[in-house]
Amino acid sequence: MDYRNLGRTGVEVSTLCLGAMMFGAWGNPDHQECVAIMRRALDEGINFIDTADVYSAGESEQIVGELLASIGPSRREEVVLATKFHGRMGDGPNRQGNSRRWVISECEASLRRLGTDHIDLYQVHRPEPGTDIDDTLSALSDLVHAGKVRYFGSSTFPAWMVVEAHWCSERRHHERLSTEQPPYSVLARGVEADLFEVCQRYGMGVLSWSPLAGGWLSGRFGTGKDNTSRRSARLPHRYDMSEPGNRAKLAAVDKLADLAAQAGMSLPEMAVAFVLAHPAVTSAIIGPRTMEQLVSLLKVPGSPLSQALLDRIDEVVPPGTNLNVADGGWVPPWVAEAGLRRR
């Protein structure tokens, strides 16, 4: 396993980060099997685990907590543990978001579910324009000073919001964002246009989510294939072939599969290796549901792509381009809501 510095934190993390989104009711409800998958990942050198409070309504964090309890305190210290807050976690208007009130209370809830006394990386899962970033950064800084959080970061923030957060930290003397977790894959390259440059300028680690583009690059999609997956059953509108962006993705997948075969690798291997080839990227988050899926991706760090292959990938999907704009991961309300863009 290869390791890279997590931004400027001095912490080294594996280039594959084990994402736990599929552990629990959303994916694999067998806790013992999920723990076995994570133990195998640790044995193979992965030292980075990413989850979130909202994954299976807290069940994913509980399963990760079962892993931590099973490996003991000394090995727990080898794990760089990341989780996130923002999403709705129950009834009531304040059981979600980025307010100081919720950040602090939900951190305590995550610590209980994880069965640990600290979170190595605590991330703001999505932007919330109605909450002052100063309020969020202040609460996160207090958690760092209390020893409950080691570092904090953002997820799916546009470049300008990352800059605003750094400006606020400098002016208000808060701790700074150490990482950003954006969507990034061969099919969703929009972050190459500006976000990656911002992250590099501020010395931030980048943990890319969905390197297989929500299953599009899993090898199960393509012309003449069934083009179904567990995720497509859950979010059918994201896989609707009447959508022009999805038709463009399907055409690209066929061409990318040919490139992978010519290079002597599977499409998922090429897809993850592509993400790791970008100099801004620290880790690619893989989210296996089964042991087989994990094992199939473990050799990726040893599979660097040639410059010639990267150039051919650029011909299929131009740099800085999302084939489907919905793959950006977050749409600002002033774009999504007609009432905010009309007189």
Question: Can you read off the two tokens belonging to residue 178?
Answer: 């150490």
User: CA–CA separation, 102 vs 98, rounded Å?
Assistant: 6
- Burial 61-87, CB ≥16 within 10 A → b, else e: bbbbbbbbeebeeeebeebbbbbbbbb
In the Cβ-directed half-sphere of 170, how many Cα atoms lie within 13 Å?
A: 7
User: CA–CA separation, 283 vs 15, rounded Å?
Assistant: 4
Residues 298/268, Cβ–Cβ less than 8 Å: no
Angle between helices 244-262 and 307-316 (to 10 degrees): 160
User: CA–CA separation, 272 vs 328, rounded Å?
Assistant: 18
DSSP 35-95: HHHHHHHHHTT--EEE--TTGGGGHHHHHHHHHHHHHHHHHHTT-EEEEEE-S--SSSTTS
Residues 48/318, Cβ–Cβ less than 8 Å: no
Question: Can you read off the two tokens belonging to residue 118?
Answer: 């600290």
Residue in 55, 122, 151, 184 annotated catalytic: 55
* The length of the chain, given as a count of residues: 343
- Confirm whether 55 is a catalytic residue: yes
User: CA–CA separation, 288 vs 296, rounded Å?
Assistant: 10
Helix then strand count (H, E) for the chain reads 12, 10
Q: Which residues are catalytic?
A: 55
